[in-house]
Amino acid sequence: MNVRVALVLLVLVAACGSGERVTPTAAGPPPLALVGGRVQPAPGAPSVADAVVVIERGVISAVGRRGDVRLPDGAVTLDCAGATVSAGFWNSHVHFTEPVWNDAAFAPPERLAGGLRAMLTSYGFVHVFDTGSLPGNTAALRRRLESGEIAGPSIRMASGSFVPPGGSPYYLRPMRLPELSAPADAERLVPQAVDAGADAIKLFTGSFAERGVIVVMPVDVVRAAVAAAHRRGKLVFAHPSNSAGARAALEGGVDILAHTFPTELDGPWDRSLPGGMRERGMALIPTLKLWPYELRKFVLPAEVVQRVLGNGQAQVRAFADAGGQVLFGTDVGYMTEYDPTDEYVHLAGAGLSYARILAALTTAPAERFGVAALTGRVAPGLAADLTVVDGDPERDIRALARVRYALRGGRIVYSR
């Protein structure tokens, strides 16, 4: 890389951009062209070999084969030979609870930027949904990202983290989460969470109050919380823990199940649930890697770990076979193992094709969260939210974790 290109790339990295502001501004960084990669415009769409993606002022202006696309004057080029270019990835289940995020309003920007690179952007995530952290702290981090001070992903927050009576998770102690004892509690507290900045509401419809003890939220309370959130135009996530918690979410009208529910504490999982979830239009975030991660803490036999993981994979398979919408998410931040490779492998083991996994990373969350007209595909007129991975993930799904570049709104938020 020559000195001029290096300097221009520094400008691109420093320039403020957002994956959800797609109207070009009068001034901005020079055009950027991703050259020579295999472009995957959308899951299931034909790929374009030896392609060029041109970005101008944060927006994709052209996509096509190298010989068919003219580069704008002064364009900076990124060599993508041997790589696959797709829409920027979403991780729809993250947490900002580790010490690196403490005091996000005033923490040194380099500390926060380093944390974002390590946990998210180095794995191609340019949009994330925080499903449970201190809302004020996450909001401060988001403000610093949106100001352009720090390069990183867009952040949405599922707040509230409401539990049934006595249902605060044992693993969060001494912290106690707000309880919903009756529908009236939901009607009062859910709007307060929305007013405090929540983009969605989270319910523990099933919660590990103690090891081996799961408390389930009453369905009438779930319904009241969902109705209160929907009146304010907000989606509802549910943490189920077991089949009873998943059924409470289903019957209560929850939008997104934040985990599979593979535990066997109360017998085999309810095989009627995936089809019912699909019929009700729910989405599912599998978090399959979480189950071996958690069970290793208890030094359980390998066959037990595999059986629980297999239950989760069977739930994903049944849900996907029914046509259900899968969203990619790993519970990273709670999990201190950041690498998502195992999640990709486990999803493939559940029978999801490369196209379905890519959809879970791109088009499905863009649709579910109402921004499909702005992002989620590689097409002219959409935000230049892009992830570039080494190799061909259609042949080796592990390639999805081998990220070369991540861009949000045309801004390079990660470069290896």
Q: Are residues 101 and 211 in the same domain?
A: yes
Q: Please calculate the CA angle 150-38-4 and round it to the nearest 5 degrees.
A: 50
- Reduce the DSSP state of residue 184 to 3 states and report it: helix
Q: What phi and psi values does residue 390 have, to the nearest 5 degrees?
A: -70, 135
pLDDT for position 81: 98
* pLDDT range class, residue 27, cuts 50, 70, 90: low
Q: Are 256 and 239 in contact (CB under 8 A)?
A: no
Q: Are residues 384 and 273 in the same domain?
A: no
What is the C-alpha radius of gyration for the chain, rounded to an integer number of angstroms? 21
Q: Are residues 349 and 400 in the same domain?
A: no
pTM reported for the whole predicted model: 0.93
Instruction: Tell me what the mean pLDDT of segment 191-213 comes to.
Output: 97
Give CA 161 to chain center in angstroms.
18
**Chain-wide mean pLDDT for the chain?**
94
Q: Are 406 and 121 in contact (CB under 8 A)?
A: yes
pLDDT digits (tens, 9 = 90+) for 364-405: 999 999 999 999 999 999 999 999 999 999 999 999 999 999
pLDDT digits (tens, 9 = 90+) for 37-74: 999 999 999 999 999 999 999 999 999 999 999 999 99
- Is residue 227 predicted with pLDDT exceeding 50? yes
pLDDT digits (tens, 9 = 90+) for 306-364: 999 999 999 999 999 999 999 999 999 999 999 999 999 999 999 999 999 999 999 99
Rounded to whole angstroms, the Cα distance separating 200 from 276 reads 22
- Token pair for 211: 């090891």
pLDDT for position 29: 85
Q: Are residues 120 and 77 in the same domain?
A: no
Rounded to whole angstroms, the Cα distance separating 354 from 362 reads 12
The CA distances from residue 32 to 29, 69, 191, 226, in Å, are 8, 13, 43, 43
Structural domain containing residue 267: 89-368
pLDDT for position 18: 37
| 312 CB neighbour count, 10 Å cutoff | 24
Q: Are residues 294 and 236 in the same domain?
A: yes
Q: Are residues 37 and 134 in the same domain?
A: no
Rounded to whole angstroms, the Cα distance separating 85 from 92 reads 20
Q: Are 372 and 366 in contact (CB under 8 A)?
A: yes
Q: Are residues 165 and 26 in the same domain?
A: no
Instruction: Tell me what the mean pLDDT of segment 5-12 comes to.
Output: 41
pLDDT for position 153: 98
Q: Is 42 exposed, middle or buried (0-12, 13-18, 19+ CB in 10 A)?
A: middle
> Which stretches within 254-301 are classed as H helix?
273-279, 290-296
Q: Are residues 49 and 134 in the same domain?
A: no
Rounded to whole angstroms, the Cα distance separating 409 from 23 reads 10
Q: Are residues 363 and 388 in the same domain?
A: no
Strand partners, 335: 332
- Is residue 17 predicted with pLDDT exceeding 90? no
Q: Are residues 66 and 93 in the same domain?
A: no
Output the domain CATH number for residue 144: 3.20.20.140
- Is residue 13 predicted with pLDDT exceeding 80? no
Rounded to whole angstroms, the Cα distance separating 164 from 145 reads 34
Q: Are residues 31 and 176 in the same domain?
A: no
Output the domain CATH number for residue 405: 2.30.40.10
- % residues pLDDT > 70 (the chain): 94
Collect all residues with Cβ–Cβ distance below 8 Å to 361 and sequence separation of at least 6.
Answer: 86, 87, 89, 90, 328, 400
- Token pair for 273: 């649930």
Strand partners, 408: 411
* pLDDT range class, residue 245, cuts 50, 70, 90: very high
Q: Are residues 214 and 345 in the same domain?
A: yes
Q: How many domains does the chain have?
A: 2
* Bond preceding residue 31 cis, omega within 30 of 0: no
pLDDT digits (tens, 9 = 90+) for 99-121: 999 999 999 999 999 999 999 99
> Which stretches within 253-362 are classed as H helix?
273-279, 290-296, 302-321, 341-349, 354-361
